[in-house]
Structure formats: structure tokens, C-alpha cells
A and B are shown apart, each in its own frame.
Chain A
Amino acid sequence: MTSNFTSRAAVALVLLLLLGTAFWSLTTGYSADAALNRTAEYYAVNTPAETGAQNVVTAIIVTYRGLDTLGEVTVLFLTAAIVALVLGQSKAPRGASGSGFLPSGELLQTGTKMLLPLILMFGAYIFVNGHLTPGGGFQGGAVLASGMLLLLLADPGKRFRKAVIHRVESLSGLFYVLIGLAGMAWAGGFLDNRILPLGQFGQILSAGAIPLIYTLIGLKVGAEFSSILESLEETEDA
């Protein structure tokens, strides 16, 4: 057994040593570019005029590469669905389910009541300001999901209403696609943000549909993360 283990480790070490030499030559031979390449320069020069967003990363994610982001959110939705499917099929043995939970303390419950609105508001702030400051739908969605996590920790027995989460998730996905189609009808193409006026550069209500789209992405991502967390947490097979 031990010899078997050491031979495994030796084979892994040899393989990683080969990979490491490739990495070594990549690192030592690397020198940073002096100027932006053509794609990046296009984004840097044309982002203010074409999308009205201050944050170039947001402009790329929501507008220039909007279709990829739609695909990414779809992958995340599929992940949440598969996790729920895989865990839903495995019935816990009788008596073993739900018995490990201790009731959470008074401190955690009161703290949750006070902090939860603030956390949700902070998440909304992050994704509404996604086109001006660092942050956006994915970060804000993660903050929303962490608020849901606090709720789960404070009250493990209680389900927060699954139906609400699923409805938020599917409605925001639907509106995301509808805004994309509206871009095809009234602007340059799928998910073009110029269906709304670009507004004044640097204001919160500017950059066309980017705040709207990022809000929808934030709600969708937050709902998906919450449903992953909930399906991993729940033990009682309802």
C-alpha cells in the first residue's frame, strides 16, 4: 500500500515537473507588451462613445460580449438545476436527516434581522453602479446570495420560499432575453444597449440599458447561487 502510494506520488511529481519546465520557459520568456493590442485598443477608445459606460470591463461583459454572458448565466442555471437534481434524488436515511441542526443563537437571529436589509441594499448598490465603479451583476449577485446564506444560517429549519427564488430567476432571465431582442428591433443588434438614451457620461442613469441588464444579471446570479446553497444545505427531504 505504501509503495503503491509513493509510486503514485512519484509519477505525479514527474508529470508536474515536465509541466513546470513548460511554465518556467513561459515565465522567463515573458515580457509585457508596451501598448494595447488592437482589440483592447478598440474597446479603450470606443467604449465611452459607443456604450457610455465608465467601466470598460462592464462594457465588454454586458455589451460587446453580451451573448457570452447570456451563455454563462445559462451555464450557471444548468449547474443549479443539476445540483438540485443530483441531491434531490438522494433521500437521506430515516432519522439521519435534519437531526444535526442545533438551533442558532439569539445573537445570530437578531443580527440577521438587522444586517439582512443592509446586505441586500449593498448588493443592489453594487450592481446598479456596475457601469461606473468596479463591481456589477456577478459581484452584486454574490453579495445577495451571501445575505441569503446568513438567513439560512440563522434559521436552518425554515425554507425560504423556493417559489420566490425560482420566479425571480426565471423572470430576470426572460427579461434579459427580451431586452436583447429589443436591441435587435430598435438598435444595432442583439443586446445592444442603445435602446435607451446613453445619457450624460458618468451619471448613474446613463449608458443606455447597461444598468438594467446588469440588474437583471445580478438578480439571476443571486437567485442561482441561493438555490445552489439551499439545495446543498437542506437535509430534510420535503
Chain B
Amino acid sequence: MIALPLAAVIGFGLAAIAAAFVALVTRTTPVAVIAAGLVSLFASVIFLVLAAPDVAMTEAAIGSGLTTFLFFYVMGRIRREGGNDQ
């Protein structure tokens, strides 16, 4: 029986690493961007377990929210001008 915080850190850490792996090996850029956002989201749960609620809020709002949208805006501009962003 391991303690709940330890289990949470192990589980979400493995999930973050798996999402990072998906971001590295996938063929399409949108999937990679979404996976990178997921890495940030799992990392924000790890911050919460490590008793850092301020950092968890910032990471969830900025790291996984706004950054993903910046990527999608740039990908949209590139696609509209006829590039393939694969």
C-alpha cells in the first residue's frame, strides 16, 4: 500500500512521459501540439501534489491553454498560405 500522493506523482509522471513520447513520434504536427499541451496539464497536477498551487494554476492556464492556441494560430496562418505543416 503506497501513499496517495506518491501514487499520484508516479501515475501522472508516467502519463506526462507517455504524452511527451507521443509528441515526439507522431507524424502530424497538430497531434504533437495537443500532446505537448497534455504534458503541461499532467505537470500541473504534479505541481499540485508537490504543494505548489500557484504554480499549478499558472501552468494549467498558460502552459497548456494559451501556448496550444499560439501554435494553432501559427499553423492556421501557414496552412492558409498553402504550406503543408506535416
Asked whether any CB of A lies within 8 Å of a CB of B in the complex, the reply is yes
Q: Which residues of A are in contact with B by a Cβ distance under 8 Å?
A: 55, 57-58, 92-93, 96-97, 99-100, 126, 134-136, 138-139, 142-143, 145-146, 149, 225, 228-229, 232-233, 235
Q: List 9 A-B contacts (CB under 8 A).
A: A57-B54, A58-B54, A93-B81, A96-B80, A100-B76, A136-B54, A139-B54, A228-B70, A232-B77
Q: With contacts A100-B80, A138-B62, A145-B66 known, is A229 near B73, CB below 8 A?
A: yes
Q: With contacts A55-B54, A225-B66 known, is A139 near B80, CB below 8 A?
A: no
Q: With contacts A134-B54, A135-B54, A139-B57 known, is A235 near B62, CB below 8 A?
A: no
CB pair A139–B58 under 8 Å, yes or no, is yes
Q: With contacts A96-B80, A145-B66, A229-B66 known, is A134 near B57, CB below 8 A?
A: yes
- Chain A residues closer than 8 Å to B62, beta-carbon distance: 138, 142
CB pair B65–A146 under 8 Å, yes or no, is yes
CB pair B54–A232 under 8 Å, yes or no, is no
Q: With contacts A55-B54, A134-B54, A225-B66 known, is A139 near B61, CB below 8 A?
A: yes
CB pair B57–A135 under 8 Å, yes or no, is yes
**Minimum Cβ distance to chain B for residue A226 (Å):** 10
- Chain B residues closer than 8 Å to A96, beta-carbon distance: 80-82
Question: What count of chain B residues pass the 8 Å CB interface test?
Answer: 19
In the docked arrangement, what's the CA distance between A228 and B66, Å? 10
- Chain B residues closer than 8 Å to A58, beta-carbon distance: 54
In the docked arrangement, what's the CA distance between A142 and B63, Å? 10
Residue of A139, A143, A145 with most chain B CB atoms under a 10 A cut-off:
A139
CB pair B73–A232 under 8 Å, yes or no, is yes
Q: Does B53 contact A (CB under 8 A)?
A: yes
In the docked arrangement, what's the CA distance between A228 and B76, Å? 15
Q: Does B21 contact A (CB under 8 A)?
A: no
In the docked arrangement, what's the CA distance between A225 and B67, Å? 10
CB pair B70–A146 under 8 Å, yes or no, is no
- Chain B residues closer than 8 Å to A136, beta-carbon distance: 54
- Chain B residues closer than 8 Å to A55, beta-carbon distance: 54
**Minimum Cβ distance to chain A for residue B18 (Å):** 18
